[in-house]
Amino acid sequence: MDGEVRIPAAAKWARKDVEALMALPFAELVFRAAEVHREHHNPNEVQASRLLSIKTGGCPEDCGYCSQSAKFKTGLKASKLMDKEVVLTEARRAKTEGASRFCMGAAWRAPKDRDMGELCEMVGEVKALGLETCMTLGMLSEGQAQQLSDAGLDYYNHNIDTSPEYYDKVISTRTFEDRIDTLEKVRGAGMKVCCGGIVGMGEKVDDRAGFLLALANMTPPPESVPINSLMPIEGTPLGNSEPVGAIDFVRLIAVARILMPESYVRLSAGRENMSEEAQALCFLAGANSIFVGDELLTTNNPGQAKDTALFEQLGVMLT
């Protein structure tokens, strides 16, 4: 068959394999991705997560896409770590509205040891509500990763953001290797990995291939792979970036599904700017997780009413 792509037995992909997938005709690529998806997942179920900013703004990093960096003038006011009872109230509401996983994000380069006790209490009490737990707190030491694991944290999110080759065009205050180091500590502590990135930051198609290749060749690949379409924010260096078109974004979802068949591929930031048809194509191509709620950290997200109407049309159940 023209465009035939070898699937390596050792689950290690070569760059030429990824590039060949990305070059397939759209219908062929989506068909193959849908086949892989059906082999490993229920195509009519989508996992629902809720993301809450438990500490907003004032971050010393210079991630060029982020409104929470203290280095950029975005009008965002920094806040302290949210009170645990407020977090639990939000977690209860998330569960009532259908989320099965509750994700807590703090705008830090790395958490301070003095905050770890309260963070671990949040994990334990959110987990006691019957929710899966996830946190994203920046870089971790081995001890901090073990503390979170001992508290019962299910997933730790630490995105690689983009390809290794393009990384320094987006961030200068930490390296791609710093990201990998934290991910290795998360694995070593026994937690599941949530790791993905953002497209639409001025990268080329080759960089998108490199981004997906880096994820797929992790051992094992991340259990959860959030793929974000940049939400441009005024005042950030990447605020005027050219957006990725819907067809190209669906291609990325499809390639991610083929490369990482057992992972949850999460359609993350950017859904607010996607049509229902574009989202439907993403689910057909293998996306099977979303963030629900009106807000993702500091950007807008489709609310419950829109999501309910969409999934009723598609005959898809949120889990």
Q: Determine whether 120 is an active site residue.
A: no
Catalytic residue among 32, 50, 63, 282: 63
Q: What crossing angle do the helices spanning 176-188 and 142-151 adopt, rounded to 10°? A: 40
Q: With b meaning 16 or more CB within 10 Å and e meaning fewer, what string describes 157-181?
A: bbbbbbbbebbebbbeebebebbbe
Contact 51, 91 (CB under 8 A): no
Q: Determine whether 59 is an active site residue.
A: yes
Contact 270, 290 (CB under 8 A): no
Contact 141, 188 (CB under 8 A): no
Catalytic residue among 174, 179, 194, 208: 194
- Only one residue has tokens 């971050």, namely 59
Catalytic residue among 50, 101, 266, 271: 266
- Only one residue has tokens 């639409």, namely 200
Catalytic residue among 32, 66, 101, 195: 66
DSSP 220: S
Catalytic residue among 120, 134, 195, 282: 134
Q: Determine whether 282 is an active site residue.
A: no
Q: Determine whether 194 is an active site residue.
A: yes
Catalytic residue among 32, 50, 101, 103: 103
DSSP 168: G
Rounded Cα gap, residues 309 and 305, in angstroms: 6
Q: Which amino acid, one-letter code, is at 173? A: T
Catalytic residue among 59, 120, 195, 282: 59
Rounded Cα gap, residues 128 and 250, in angstroms: 36
Catalytic residues: 59, 63, 66, 103, 134, 194, 266
